[in-house]
Protein backbone atom coordinates (compact mmCIF):
# COMPACT_ATOMS: atom_id res chain seq x y z
CA UNK A 1 0.00 0.00 0.00
CA UNK A 2 2.70 2.37 1.10
CA UNK A 3 4.82 1.63 -1.96
CA UNK A 4 1.76 2.04 -4.25
CA UNK A 5 1.09 5.47 -2.82
CA UNK A 6 4.70 6.45 -3.19
CA UNK A 7 4.81 5.15 -6.79
CA UNK A 8 1.71 7.22 -7.59
CA UNK A 9 3.30 10.17 -5.77
CA UNK A 10 6.36 9.71 -7.94
CA UNK A 11 4.30 9.66 -11.13
CA UNK A 12 2.55 12.87 -10.08
CA UNK A 13 5.89 14.47 -9.24
CA UNK A 14 7.37 13.47 -12.61
CA UNK A 15 4.26 14.78 -14.42
CA UNK A 16 4.56 18.07 -12.52
CA UNK A 17 8.26 18.31 -13.33
CA UNK A 18 7.59 17.65 -17.02
CA UNK A 19 4.85 20.28 -16.97
CA UNK A 20 7.15 22.80 -15.25
CA UNK A 21 9.93 22.05 -17.74
CA UNK A 22 7.66 22.41 -20.77
CA UNK A 23 6.24 25.63 -19.31
CA UNK A 24 9.76 27.09 -18.88
CA UNK A 25 10.80 25.86 -22.34
CA UNK A 26 7.70 27.38 -23.93
CA UNK A 27 8.40 30.72 -22.29
CA UNK A 28 12.08 30.72 -23.15
CA UNK A 29 12.08 29.08 -26.52
CA UNK A 30 8.55 29.81 -27.76
CA UNK A 31 5.84 27.21 -28.28
CA UNK A 32 7.11 26.50 -31.80
CA UNK A 33 10.46 25.35 -30.47
CA UNK A 34 13.91 26.77 -30.49
CA UNK A 35 13.71 28.77 -33.72
CA UNK A 36 11.05 31.03 -32.18
CA UNK A 37 13.31 32.04 -29.31
CA UNK A 38 14.76 35.54 -29.46
CA UNK A 39 17.93 33.89 -28.07
CA UNK A 40 18.42 31.73 -31.15
CA UNK A 41 21.55 32.71 -33.16
CA UNK A 42 22.61 35.30 -30.58
CA UNK A 43 26.02 35.78 -28.99
CA UNK A 44 25.93 36.03 -25.22
CA UNK A 45 28.86 36.78 -22.92
CA UNK A 46 28.20 35.21 -19.53
CA UNK A 47 30.37 36.78 -16.82
CA UNK A 48 30.75 34.55 -13.77
CA UNK A 49 32.10 36.18 -10.62
CA UNK A 50 33.20 34.64 -7.34
CA UNK A 51 30.22 33.66 -5.22
CA UNK A 52 28.75 30.34 -4.19
CA UNK A 53 25.87 30.89 -6.65
CA UNK A 54 28.48 30.43 -9.44
CA UNK A 55 27.48 26.75 -9.62
CA UNK A 56 23.98 27.83 -10.74
CA UNK A 57 25.51 29.74 -13.65
CA UNK A 58 26.18 26.38 -15.25
CA UNK A 59 22.37 26.07 -15.59
CA UNK A 60 22.20 29.60 -17.01
CA UNK A 61 24.80 28.61 -19.63
CA UNK A 62 22.97 25.38 -20.37
CA UNK A 63 19.57 27.07 -20.85
CA UNK A 64 21.15 29.68 -23.14
CA UNK A 65 22.84 27.00 -25.25
CA UNK A 66 19.56 25.06 -25.47
CA UNK A 67 17.83 28.25 -26.66
CA UNK A 68 20.31 28.51 -29.53
CA UNK A 69 22.79 31.09 -28.19
CA UNK A 70 26.54 30.97 -28.60
CA UNK A 71 27.79 31.47 -25.04
CA UNK A 72 31.24 32.83 -24.24
CA UNK A 73 31.86 32.40 -20.53
CA UNK A 74 34.21 34.89 -18.86
CA UNK A 75 35.31 33.90 -15.37
CA UNK A 76 37.00 36.05 -12.77
CA UNK A 77 39.80 34.59 -10.70
CA UNK A 78 37.61 34.19 -7.63
CA UNK A 79 34.84 32.51 -9.66
CA UNK A 80 37.35 29.78 -10.54
CA UNK A 81 37.67 28.98 -6.82
CA UNK A 82 33.99 28.00 -6.80
CA UNK A 83 33.61 26.21 -10.14
CA UNK A 84 35.96 24.91 -12.82
CA UNK A 85 36.15 26.49 -16.29
CA UNK A 86 35.90 22.92 -17.62
CA UNK A 87 32.26 22.75 -16.47
CA UNK A 88 31.37 25.71 -18.67
CA UNK A 89 33.41 24.69 -21.69
CA UNK A 90 31.73 21.27 -21.58
CA UNK A 91 28.30 22.93 -21.57
CA UNK A 92 29.01 25.66 -24.13
CA UNK A 93 31.49 23.79 -26.38
CA UNK A 94 33.49 27.01 -26.37
CA UNK A 95 36.75 27.77 -24.52
CA UNK A 96 36.23 29.74 -21.32
CA UNK A 97 37.92 33.15 -21.11
CA UNK A 98 39.86 33.82 -17.92
CA UNK A 99 42.82 35.91 -18.98
CA UNK A 100 42.80 39.57 -20.01
CA UNK A 101 46.31 39.10 -21.42
CA UNK A 102 45.64 36.06 -23.64
CA UNK A 103 47.44 36.52 -26.99
CA UNK A 104 45.31 37.99 -29.76
CA UNK A 105 44.72 36.12 -33.01
CA UNK A 106 43.00 37.07 -36.28
CA UNK A 107 39.73 35.56 -35.00
CA UNK A 108 39.97 36.60 -31.40
CA UNK A 109 41.17 39.98 -30.17
CA UNK A 110 40.45 39.55 -26.45
CA UNK A 111 37.89 41.81 -24.85
CA UNK A 112 37.54 43.82 -28.07
CA UNK A 113 36.00 41.05 -30.14
CA UNK A 114 34.01 39.63 -27.22
CA UNK A 115 32.54 43.08 -26.51
CA UNK A 116 31.88 43.85 -30.17
CA UNK A 117 30.23 40.55 -31.04
CA UNK A 118 28.03 40.30 -27.97
CA UNK A 119 24.28 40.78 -28.28
CA UNK A 120 24.02 40.70 -24.49
CA UNK A 121 26.32 40.62 -21.46
CA UNK A 122 24.98 38.72 -18.44
CA UNK A 123 26.85 38.86 -15.12
CA UNK A 124 25.56 36.00 -12.95
CA UNK A 125 26.27 35.76 -10.13
CA UNK A 126 27.20 39.40 -9.62
CA UNK A 127 28.92 39.66 -6.25
CA UNK A 128 29.04 42.89 -4.23
CA UNK A 129 32.61 43.37 -5.49
CA UNK A 130 31.60 42.77 -9.11
CA UNK A 131 28.69 45.24 -8.82
CA UNK A 132 31.02 47.88 -7.34
CA UNK A 133 33.57 47.30 -10.09
CA UNK A 134 30.94 47.60 -12.82
CA UNK A 135 29.49 50.76 -11.27
CA UNK A 136 32.93 52.34 -10.93
CA UNK A 137 34.00 51.24 -14.39
CA UNK A 138 37.10 49.36 -13.21
CA UNK A 139 38.77 47.66 -16.13
CA UNK A 140 41.61 45.68 -14.61
CA UNK A 141 40.23 42.26 -15.49
CA UNK A 142 38.67 40.75 -18.61
CA UNK A 143 35.05 41.17 -17.46
CA UNK A 144 35.62 44.82 -16.54
CA UNK A 145 37.21 45.47 -19.94
CA UNK A 146 34.29 43.87 -21.77
CA UNK A 147 31.68 45.73 -19.67
CA UNK A 148 33.27 49.06 -20.60
CA UNK A 149 33.79 48.24 -24.27
CA UNK A 150 30.46 46.67 -25.19
CA UNK A 151 27.44 48.44 -26.60
CA UNK A 152 25.27 45.42 -25.82
CA UNK A 153 22.67 45.59 -23.05
CA UNK A 154 23.88 44.30 -19.68
CA UNK A 155 21.99 42.13 -17.21
CA UNK A 156 23.30 41.62 -13.67
CA UNK A 157 21.99 39.00 -11.24
CA UNK A 158 23.20 39.99 -7.75
CA UNK A 159 23.94 37.22 -5.26
CA UNK A 160 25.28 37.79 -1.73
CA UNK A 161 24.40 37.73 1.95
CA UNK A 162 21.41 39.90 2.83
CA UNK A 163 23.38 42.34 5.00
CA UNK A 164 25.73 42.96 2.13
CA UNK A 165 22.84 43.36 -0.29
CA UNK A 166 21.16 45.87 2.02
CA UNK A 167 24.36 47.88 2.56
CA UNK A 168 23.95 51.45 1.19
CA UNK A 169 27.10 51.02 -0.85
CA UNK A 170 25.72 48.02 -2.76
CA UNK A 171 22.34 49.74 -3.13
CA UNK A 172 23.98 52.91 -4.49
CA UNK A 173 26.04 50.95 -7.01
CA UNK A 174 22.93 49.10 -8.20
CA UNK A 175 21.06 52.39 -8.58
CA UNK A 176 23.99 53.76 -10.62
CA UNK A 177 23.90 50.70 -12.87
CA UNK A 178 20.10 50.86 -13.25
CA UNK A 179 20.36 54.56 -14.17
CA UNK A 180 22.73 53.57 -16.95
CA UNK A 181 20.17 51.12 -18.30
CA UNK A 182 21.66 47.95 -16.78
CA UNK A 183 18.90 45.42 -16.05
CA UNK A 184 19.03 44.06 -12.52
CA UNK A 185 17.39 40.64 -12.11
CA UNK A 186 16.64 39.57 -8.55
CA UNK A 187 17.96 38.83 -6.05
CA UNK A 188 15.29 36.60 -4.53
CA UNK A 189 14.30 36.25 -0.93
CA UNK A 190 15.09 32.82 0.46
CA UNK A 191 17.65 30.55 2.03
CA UNK A 192 21.18 31.89 1.70
CA UNK A 193 24.46 29.97 1.76
CA UNK A 194 24.90 30.84 5.45
CA UNK A 195 21.61 29.12 6.25
CA UNK A 196 19.93 32.43 7.04
CA UNK A 197 16.75 33.49 5.26
CA UNK A 198 16.93 36.88 3.55
CA UNK A 199 17.34 38.89 0.34
CA UNK A 200 20.38 38.02 -1.72
CA UNK A 201 19.69 34.64 -3.30
CA UNK A 202 20.56 34.76 -6.99
CA UNK A 203 17.47 34.80 -9.24
CA UNK A 204 16.74 31.37 -10.73
CA UNK A 205 18.57 30.47 -13.96
CA UNK A 206 15.14 30.38 -15.69
CA UNK A 207 14.35 33.94 -14.53
CA UNK A 208 17.77 35.17 -15.71
CA UNK A 209 17.42 33.53 -19.13
CA UNK A 210 13.85 34.80 -19.44
CA UNK A 211 15.09 38.33 -18.70
CA UNK A 212 17.71 37.81 -21.43
CA UNK A 213 15.03 36.68 -23.91
CA UNK A 214 12.83 39.65 -23.00
CA UNK A 215 15.72 42.05 -23.44
CA UNK A 216 16.71 40.65 -26.83
CA UNK A 217 13.10 40.76 -28.02
CA UNK A 218 12.96 44.36 -26.78
CA UNK A 219 16.31 45.43 -28.30
CA UNK A 220 14.86 45.40 -31.78
CA UNK A 221 11.34 46.63 -30.93
CA UNK A 222 11.94 50.27 -31.84
CA UNK A 223 14.91 49.83 -34.15
CA UNK A 224 14.90 52.66 -36.70
CA UNK A 225 12.34 54.68 -34.71
CA UNK A 226 12.84 58.14 -33.27
CA UNK A 227 11.46 58.82 -29.80
CA UNK A 228 11.28 62.19 -28.05
CA UNK A 229 10.87 62.18 -24.27
CA UNK A 230 10.39 65.14 -21.93
CA UNK A 231 11.23 64.91 -18.24
CA UNK A 232 11.38 66.90 -15.02
CA UNK A 233 9.53 70.03 -14.03
CA UNK A 234 9.81 73.40 -15.72
CA UNK A 235 10.93 76.47 -13.74
CA UNK A 236 9.24 79.80 -14.44
CA UNK A 237 11.44 82.67 -13.23
CA UNK A 238 10.20 85.60 -11.14
CA UNK A 239 13.60 87.26 -10.88
CA UNK A 240 17.25 86.11 -11.26
CA UNK A 241 17.07 83.93 -8.11
CA UNK A 242 13.41 82.86 -7.72
CA UNK A 243 11.09 80.73 -9.78
CA UNK A 244 7.74 78.96 -9.72
CA UNK A 245 8.30 75.22 -10.03
CA UNK A 246 7.05 71.83 -8.95
CA UNK A 247 8.34 68.71 -7.20
CA UNK A 248 8.90 66.53 -10.26
CA UNK A 249 12.18 64.59 -9.95
CA UNK A 250 12.42 63.63 -13.62
CA UNK A 251 12.82 59.93 -12.75
CA UNK A 252 9.91 58.73 -14.92
CA UNK A 253 11.09 60.59 -18.02
CA UNK A 254 14.68 59.42 -17.60
CA UNK A 255 13.47 55.83 -17.15
CA UNK A 256 11.40 56.17 -20.34
CA UNK A 257 14.38 57.50 -22.27
CA UNK A 258 16.46 54.53 -21.04
CA UNK A 259 13.67 52.06 -21.92
CA UNK A 260 13.28 53.54 -25.42
CA UNK A 261 17.06 53.34 -25.90
CA UNK A 262 17.20 49.71 -24.85
CA UNK A 263 14.33 49.05 -27.29
CA UNK A 264 16.69 50.21 -30.04
CA UNK A 265 15.23 53.69 -30.67
CA UNK A 266 17.10 56.91 -31.37
CA UNK A 267 16.17 59.05 -28.37
CA UNK A 268 16.06 62.78 -27.65
CA UNK A 269 15.57 63.59 -23.97
CA UNK A 270 14.40 67.15 -23.30
CA UNK A 271 14.67 67.82 -19.61
CA UNK A 272 13.87 70.50 -17.09
CA UNK A 273 16.46 70.93 -14.30
CA UNK A 274 17.01 67.65 -12.37
CA UNK A 275 19.79 66.01 -10.39
CA UNK A 276 19.77 62.94 -12.66
CA UNK A 277 22.41 61.81 -15.12
CA UNK A 278 21.14 61.60 -18.70
CA UNK A 279 21.27 58.11 -20.24
CA UNK A 280 24.40 57.56 -22.38
CA UNK A 281 23.70 57.65 -26.08
CA UNK A 282 20.59 59.84 -25.99
CA UNK A 283 20.56 63.35 -27.45
CA UNK A 284 20.19 65.44 -24.30
CA UNK A 285 18.63 68.91 -24.32
CA UNK A 286 18.41 70.93 -21.12
CA UNK A 287 15.68 73.52 -20.78
CA UNK A 288 14.33 75.62 -17.94
CA UNK A 289 10.95 77.06 -18.88
CA UNK A 290 7.82 75.68 -20.57
CA UNK A 291 8.36 78.05 -23.51
CA UNK A 292 11.89 76.67 -24.04
CA UNK A 293 10.59 73.12 -23.74
CA UNK A 294 7.88 73.86 -26.30
CA UNK A 295 10.46 75.17 -28.79
CA UNK A 296 12.72 72.12 -28.33
CA UNK A 297 9.82 69.64 -28.60
CA UNK A 298 8.71 71.27 -31.86
CA UNK A 299 12.24 70.95 -33.22
CA UNK A 300 12.87 67.40 -32.02
CA UNK A 301 9.54 65.90 -33.10
CA UNK A 302 10.27 66.68 -36.73
CA UNK A 303 10.45 63.19 -38.26
CA UNK A 304 9.82 61.50 -34.89
CA UNK A 305 7.61 58.45 -34.36
CA UNK A 306 6.76 58.87 -30.66
CA UNK A 307 6.49 61.84 -28.30
CA UNK A 308 6.31 61.01 -24.59
CA UNK A 309 5.52 64.02 -22.41
CA UNK A 310 6.49 62.91 -18.91
CA UNK A 311 7.51 66.44 -17.93
CA UNK A 312 5.51 68.37 -15.35
CA UNK A 313 5.00 71.52 -17.38
CA UNK A 314 3.95 74.67 -15.54
CA UNK A 315 0.60 75.80 -16.93
CA UNK A 316 1.33 79.44 -16.02
CA UNK A 317 4.39 81.70 -15.81
CA UNK A 318 4.90 85.10 -14.19
CA UNK A 319 3.84 87.78 -16.66
CA UNK A 320 7.08 89.66 -16.09
CA UNK A 321 10.53 88.56 -15.01
CA UNK A 322 12.36 91.17 -12.98
CA UNK A 323 15.92 91.78 -14.15
CA UNK A 324 16.94 92.44 -10.56
CA UNK A 325 16.22 90.51 -7.37
CA UNK A 326 12.83 91.61 -6.04
CA UNK A 327 13.18 93.45 -2.72
CA UNK A 328 10.48 93.55 -0.06
CA UNK A 329 9.44 96.82 1.53
CA UNK A 330 9.65 97.10 5.32
CA UNK A 331 5.87 97.19 5.83
CA UNK A 332 4.91 94.97 2.87
CA UNK A 333 2.49 92.14 3.84
CA UNK A 334 1.44 90.87 0.42
CA UNK A 335 2.88 90.45 -3.01
CA UNK A 336 0.85 90.06 -6.18
CA UNK A 337 2.24 88.03 -9.03
CA UNK A 338 0.26 88.04 -12.23
CA UNK A 339 0.57 84.79 -14.15
CA UNK A 340 -0.03 84.22 -17.83
CA UNK A 341 -0.86 80.96 -19.57
CA UNK A 342 1.94 78.77 -20.94
CA UNK A 343 1.43 76.83 -24.18
CA UNK A 344 0.02 73.31 -23.82
CA UNK A 345 2.91 71.52 -25.52
CA UNK A 346 1.31 68.12 -25.93
CA UNK A 347 -1.96 69.49 -27.26
CA UNK A 348 -0.27 71.88 -29.69
CA UNK A 349 2.08 69.39 -31.37
CA UNK A 350 0.14 68.08 -34.31
CA UNK A 351 2.18 65.96 -36.69
CA UNK A 352 0.77 63.21 -38.85
CA UNK A 353 1.98 59.75 -37.77
CA UNK A 354 3.34 60.99 -34.42
CA UNK A 355 2.18 58.73 -31.60
CA UNK A 356 1.61 61.00 -28.60
CA UNK A 357 1.83 59.76 -25.01
CA UNK A 358 0.87 61.87 -22.01
CA UNK A 359 0.92 61.52 -18.25
CA UNK A 360 -1.88 62.51 -15.92
CA UNK A 361 -0.83 62.87 -12.31
CA UNK A 362 -4.05 63.63 -10.44
CA UNK A 363 -5.19 64.04 -6.86
CA UNK A 364 -8.85 63.18 -7.62
CA UNK A 365 -11.09 61.57 -10.29
CA UNK A 366 -8.00 59.90 -11.73
CA UNK A 367 -9.48 57.91 -14.60
CA UNK A 368 -12.11 60.48 -15.62
CA UNK A 369 -9.48 63.25 -15.77
CA UNK A 370 -7.03 61.02 -17.62
CA UNK A 371 -9.64 60.02 -20.20
CA UNK A 372 -10.58 63.66 -20.72
CA UNK A 373 -6.92 64.58 -21.36
CA UNK A 374 -6.44 61.56 -23.65
CA UNK A 375 -9.26 62.79 -25.88
CA UNK A 376 -8.65 66.54 -25.63
CA UNK A 377 -4.95 66.26 -26.54
CA UNK A 378 -5.48 63.56 -29.22
CA UNK A 379 -3.21 61.07 -27.46
CA UNK A 380 -2.65 57.42 -28.28
CA UNK A 381 -1.79 56.61 -24.65
CA UNK A 382 -2.13 58.29 -21.29
CA UNK A 383 -0.52 57.02 -18.10
CA UNK A 384 -2.62 57.94 -15.08
CA UNK A 385 -1.30 57.93 -11.55
CA UNK A 386 -1.83 59.45 -8.13
CA UNK A 387 0.15 62.71 -8.04
CA UNK A 388 0.92 62.65 -4.33
CA UNK A 389 2.16 59.04 -4.33
CA UNK A 390 4.12 59.29 -7.57
CA UNK A 391 5.95 62.60 -7.64
CA UNK A 392 9.49 62.17 -6.33
CA UNK A 393 9.00 58.41 -5.61
CA UNK A 394 11.04 55.67 -7.29
CA UNK A 395 7.96 53.50 -7.88
CA UNK A 396 4.47 54.07 -9.18
CA UNK A 397 1.01 52.50 -9.36
CA UNK A 398 -0.35 53.47 -12.74
CA UNK A 399 -3.22 52.79 -15.11
CA UNK A 400 -2.53 52.87 -18.85
CA UNK A 401 -5.43 54.08 -21.04
CA UNK A 402 -5.29 53.97 -24.82
CA UNK A 403 -7.25 55.67 -27.61
CA UNK A 404 -8.38 52.17 -28.61
CA UNK A 405 -10.32 51.95 -25.34
CA UNK A 406 -7.95 49.65 -23.41
CA UNK A 407 -7.64 50.35 -19.69
CA UNK A 408 -4.87 48.45 -17.88
CA UNK A 409 -4.46 48.90 -14.14
CA UNK A 410 -0.90 47.93 -13.25
CA UNK A 411 0.35 46.72 -9.86
CA UNK A 412 2.90 48.88 -7.97
CA UNK A 413 6.26 48.72 -9.77
CA UNK A 414 9.50 50.64 -10.20
CA UNK A 415 9.48 53.51 -12.67
CA UNK A 416 11.94 51.52 -14.84
CA UNK A 417 9.45 48.64 -15.08
CA UNK A 418 6.59 51.03 -15.78
CA UNK A 419 8.69 52.67 -18.50
CA UNK A 420 9.28 49.27 -20.14
CA UNK A 421 5.51 48.59 -20.08
CA UNK A 422 4.71 51.97 -21.66
CA UNK A 423 7.27 51.29 -24.42
CA UNK A 424 5.70 47.85 -25.01
CA UNK A 425 2.21 49.33 -25.40
CA UNK A 426 3.53 52.11 -27.66
CA UNK A 427 5.36 49.60 -29.87
CA UNK A 428 2.23 47.47 -30.26
CA UNK A 429 0.16 50.51 -31.27
CA UNK A 430 2.86 51.76 -33.64
CA UNK A 431 3.13 48.37 -35.35
CA UNK A 432 -0.66 48.13 -35.63
CA UNK A 433 -0.82 51.61 -37.21
CA UNK A 434 1.91 50.56 -39.69
CA UNK A 435 -0.14 47.57 -40.80
CA UNK A 436 -3.24 49.69 -41.52
CA UNK A 437 -3.82 50.26 -45.24
N1 LIG B 1 1.37 69.15 -20.66
C2 LIG B 1 1.93 69.90 -21.68
N3 LIG B 1 1.94 71.25 -21.60
C4 LIG B 1 1.38 71.89 -20.56
C5 LIG B 1 0.77 71.13 -19.53
C6 LIG B 1 0.81 69.77 -19.61
O7 LIG B 1 2.45 69.31 -22.64
N8 LIG B 1 1.38 73.20 -20.53
C9 LIG B 1 1.39 67.67 -20.76
C10 LIG B 1 2.07 67.00 -19.60
O11 LIG B 1 3.44 66.77 -19.87
C12 LIG B 1 1.31 65.68 -19.49
C13 LIG B 1 -0.09 66.03 -19.98
O14 LIG B 1 0.05 67.23 -20.73
O15 LIG B 1 1.80 64.67 -20.33
C16 LIG B 1 -1.06 66.26 -18.86
O17 LIG B 1 -0.51 67.21 -17.97
P18 LIG B 1 -1.25 67.62 -16.63
O19 LIG B 1 -0.43 68.65 -15.93
O20 LIG B 1 -1.64 66.38 -15.88
O21 LIG B 1 -2.60 68.23 -17.17
P22 LIG B 1 -3.01 69.61 -17.74
O23 LIG B 1 -3.33 69.40 -19.17
O24 LIG B 1 -2.02 70.67 -17.40
O25 LIG B 1 -4.39 69.84 -16.96
P26 LIG B 1 -4.65 70.23 -15.41
O27 LIG B 1 -3.51 71.12 -15.00
O28 LIG B 1 -5.94 70.91 -15.48
O29 LIG B 1 -4.69 68.94 -14.66
- Kindly give the pairing relationship between strand 339-341 and strand 316-318: antiparallel
pLDDT of 264 reads 87
* 53 closest CA partner among 4, 136, 123, 139: 123
How do the domains of the chain map onto residue ranges?
Answer: 33-218, 226-324+333-435
Ligand 1 centre distance from Cα of residue 312 (Å): 7
Distances 168 to 22, 164, 193, 357 between C-alpha atoms, Å: 40, 9, 21, 35
Beta bridge pairs of residue 382: 358, 401
Architecture of domain 33-218: 3-Layer(aba) Sandwich (3.40)
Which atom in ligand 1 lies closest to the alpha carbon of residue 346?
7
Nearest-atom number in ligand 1 for the CA of 312 is 11
Report the nearest-CA residue for atom 24 of ligand 1.
Answer: 315
51, 83 in Cβ contact below 8 A?
A: no
The domains spanning 33-218 and 226-324+333-435 adopt the same CATH topology: yes
Coil/strand/helix, residue 269: strand
Measuring from atom 8 of ligand 1, which residue has the nearest CA? Answer: 344
CA distance 172 to 383: 28
Dihedral angle of Cα 249, 255, 260, 263, to the nearest 10 degrees: 180
Task: List, by residue number, the catalytic residues.
Answer: 246
Q: Tell me the C-alpha distance between 51 and 311, whole Å.
A: 42
pLDDT values of the chain reduced to their tens digit, one per residue, 437 residues: 333 444 444 444 445 544 455 555 555 555 444 446 789 899 999 999 999 999 999 999 999 999 999 999 999 999 999 999 999 999 999 999 998 888 887 677 778 889 999 999 999 999 999 999 999 999 999 999 999 999 899 999 999 999 999 999 999 999 889 878 899 999 999 888 888 898 999 999 999 999 999 888 888 889 899 999 999 999 999 999 999 999 999 999 999 998 998 888 999 999 999 999 887 789 999 999 999 999 999 999 999 999 999 999 999 999 999 999 999 999 999 999 999 999 999 999 998 899 999 999 999 999 999 999 999 999 999 999 988 888 878 788 999 999 999 999 999 998 988 999 999 999 999 988 877 76
Question: Which pLDDT belongs to residue 5?
Answer: 40
Query: For ligand 1, is residue 359 a contact (CB within 6 Å)?
Result: yes
Asked if residue 290 has its Cβ within 6 Å of ligand 1, the reply is: yes
Bridge partners of 120, per DSSP, are 44
SS3 label, residue 399: strand
pLDDT at position 14 is 44
Domain 226-324+333-435: CATH superfamily is CoaB-like (3.40.50.10300)
- Ligand 1 pocket member 386 (CB < 6 A): no
Q: Which of 154, 308, 290 has the alpha carbon at shortest distance from 235?
A: 290
Q: Tell which one of 272, 373, 381 to mutate to probe ligand 1, the residue whose CB is within 8 A of the most ligand atoms.
A: 373
CA 433 to chain centroid: 25
How remote is the CA of residue 337 from the centroid of ligand 1, in Å? 22
Q: What is the predicted pLDDT for the residue at 6?
A: 46
> From CA 91, how far away is CA 104, in angstroms rounded?
24
Amino acid sequence: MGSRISRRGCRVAVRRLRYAESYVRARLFGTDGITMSPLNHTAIVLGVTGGIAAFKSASVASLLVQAGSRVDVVMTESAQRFIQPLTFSAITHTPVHTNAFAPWTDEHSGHVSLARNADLLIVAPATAAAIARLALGLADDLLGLIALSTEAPIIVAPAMEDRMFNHPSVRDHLVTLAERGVIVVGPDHGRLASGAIGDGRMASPEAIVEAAATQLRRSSQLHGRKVVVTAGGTQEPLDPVRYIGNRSSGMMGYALAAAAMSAGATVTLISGPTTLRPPCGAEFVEVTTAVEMHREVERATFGADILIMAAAVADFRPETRSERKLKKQVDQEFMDVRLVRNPDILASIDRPDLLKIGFAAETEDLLANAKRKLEAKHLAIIVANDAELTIGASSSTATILTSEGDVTALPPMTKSSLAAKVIDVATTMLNRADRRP
